[in-house]
A and B are shown apart, each in its own frame.
Chain A
Amino acid sequence: MTNGMFDVDRIRKDFPILSRELPGGRPLVYLDSGNSSQKPAQVINTMREQMEQHYSNVGRALHTLGSESTEAYEGARDKVAAFIGAPDRDEVIFTKNASEALNLVAYSFGNPTCDDERFRLGPGDEIVISEMEHHSNIVPWQLLARRTGATLRWFPVTDEGRLDLSGLDELVNERTKIVSIVHQSNVLGTVNPIGGILARVRAVGALMMLDASQSVPHRAVDVAALGVDFVAFTGHKMVGPSGIGVLWGRQELLEVMPPFLGGGEMIEAVWMDHSTFAPVPHKFEAGTPPIVEAIGLGAAVDYLTAVGMDDVQRHEHELTVYGLKALGEVPGLRIVGPATAEDRGGILSFTIPGIHPHDVGQILDDQFGVAVRVGHHCARPLHLRFGIPATTRASFYLYTTTDEIDALVRGLHHVQKVFG
């Protein structure tokens, strides 16, 4: 597979689950990749082979299996580092998910054992997030504000579903210590502009983190080019397994940050009354890590790289253009998020007047095999901002077809018939 050769039918053959039938002979129409993606045989086989042939603990076992396992685990780190353009492979920290990566950074602030000025936080200091965040990029900062007395602030969201940056200079000011926002919204699909915010963050001497859980799987993301300080994402949304996430951080920051969890492998030496710590990344990887999952993520990165992230993005852009038009023809349907595919990923959340998303989702699944997500998608404040309790969300990936979007639209017409 090379540029210009993107063939969705061929890609679908790599994902065994896409050819299964649901009870009653319904085909599976999986439009819930923003929630979690499906896995190609290449990832499944790599993980199976690791468990069948090479499995042992990493980092500490000196036997053959130990070195094979360690090589594969650290090899996965190399692959992830290359995939996101990390200047140094040691800047890639394996976590269990994006939430842990975000918490790890949040817990670095206001910690009395860290004397670096940039991580000092207390009353009068400010943390800035946005109204379009997933709960995992809200709650850790709320907890941090409560621990330290710092103030939590946020960018509002416009009616069109874009970040409202009109108050940027007031919101991000000399009191701001960290700005943490989502790269691509998991509800709106909005891809946020980073440059302008980052320039202001730099001007006031604050740090900046991106929740890239919905961007790294769907477009080429180069952390060095972005220029931010921290990036969090997760394996299971990028054709990898669950149980493995990534924190990328600038090495110079990771080095001054305090350890997060204590335990095996994160130490240099331990006495009864104190310890010294391993260098990054291992300082942040206490205990036996998700070994097979990390190796699976490495295989996922290989897979996506072979397909080509630019082609993945192009395919999803075409689906988004198609999906916005197709859904626009469903009577009364209202898209929550940008109306055009510009600076927007393949996530379409919507409401239909008079019909609750749970009823929409149930009929789509039971009668058409269409899997969508319904509810607030772990972004309750965003739904409150739009004055709605829930939305129905269809999310696309490299294996999604326009036929599947057509099936969704047919299903929605039926839903309207049932509840009309």
Chain B
Amino acid sequence: MIAESLYQELILEHYKHPQGRGLRDPYDAEVHHVNPTCGDEVTMRVKLGDGGKVEDVSYDGQGCSISQAAASVLHELATGSTVVDSLAVVDEFTRLMQGRGKIEPDEDVLGDAVAFAGVARFPARVKCALLAWMAYKDAVARSSA
């Protein structure tokens, strides 16, 4: 049924076994983002290295499976990547989420994040999926500033 396309196995896996969860030192910037409609929240830290490398993305938060799994997937995709590459993924993810389910996701860019494609058809849940990704974008901007 409908929910089965929303709650992909990969999302549930990340929710039950979040990757890289917990706030770590050192970090260049820390941000706290909330979704006022449902109370989901995430605190995110970013540590950048030489050559625009993302050395660590650490986070903590509370909320629904979609918001927490999205943070976990983001950690996996961004850590060890570069600022430029990871922001390209953020852009593609944002485009997918805001596409009302009518956009064909670019799997090469998104990797595991493609599992969230079903969320785009649930407008009430799009903000949940985007919460950590917007926090990451914000944290990177502050780190580079």
Which residues of A are interface residues toward B (Cβ below 8 A)?
23-24, 355-359, 362-363, 366-367, 374-376, 389-390, 418-419
Report chain A residues within 8 Å CB of B15.
419
Stretch at the interface among B25-33, B58-66, B98-106, B107-115: B58-66
Do B64 and A367 touch across chains, with their CB atoms under 8 A apart? no
Query: Which residue of chain B is the closest to A376 with respect to CB atoms?
Result: B39
Query: Which residue of chain A is the closest to B3 with respect to CB atoms?
Result: A366
Do B1 and A366 touch across chains, with their CB atoms under 8 A apart? yes
Report chain A residues within 8 Å CB of B122.
362
Known A362-B6, A419-B15; 8 more pairs at CB < 8 Å = A24-B1, A356-B64, A358-B63, A376-B39, A389-B39, A389-B63, A418-B7, A418-B12
A295 to B113, CA, bound (A): 53
- A367: which of B3, B37, B63 is its contact (CB, 8 Å)? B3
Report the minimal beta-carbon distance from B120 to chain A, rounded to whole angstroms. 14
Q: Is B53 part of the binding interface, using a Cβ–Cβ cutoff of 8 Å?
A: no
- B39: which of A23, A367, A390 is its contact (CB, 8 Å)? A390
Query: Which residue of chain B is the closest to A26 with respect to CB atoms?
Result: B1
A362 to B128, CA, bound (A): 13
A389 to B62, CA, bound (A): 9
Query: Which residue of chain A is the closest to B5 with respect to CB atoms?
Result: A366
Report the minimal beta-carbon distance from A221 to chain B, rounded to whole angstroms. 32
Interface residues of B in 86-137 (CB under 8 A from A): 122, 125, 128
Report the minimal beta-carbon distance from A296 to chain B, rounded to whole angstroms. 29
Report chain B residues within 8 Å CB of A367.
1-3
Do B128 and A358 touch across chains, with their CB atoms under 8 A apart? yes
Do B39 and A419 touch across chains, with their CB atoms under 8 A apart? no
Interface residues of B in 1-20 (CB under 8 A from A): 1-3, 6-7, 12, 15-16
A-B contact pairs, 9 of them (CB 8 A): A24-B1, A357-B64, A359-B65, A366-B2, A367-B2, A367-B3, A389-B40, A419-B15, A419-B16
Report chain A residues within 8 Å CB of B64.
356-359
Interface residues of B in 26-56 (CB under 8 A from A): 37-40
Residue picked from A23, A24, A376, A390, most chain B C-beta under 10 Å: A390
Do A362 and B3 touch across chains, with their CB atoms under 8 A apart? yes
A359 to B64, CA, bound (A): 6
- A366: which of B6, B39, B62, B63 is its contact (CB, 8 Å)? B6
A367 to B128, CA, bound (A): 20
A194 to B7, CA, bound (A): 46
Do A363 and B12 touch across chains, with their CB atoms under 8 A apart? no
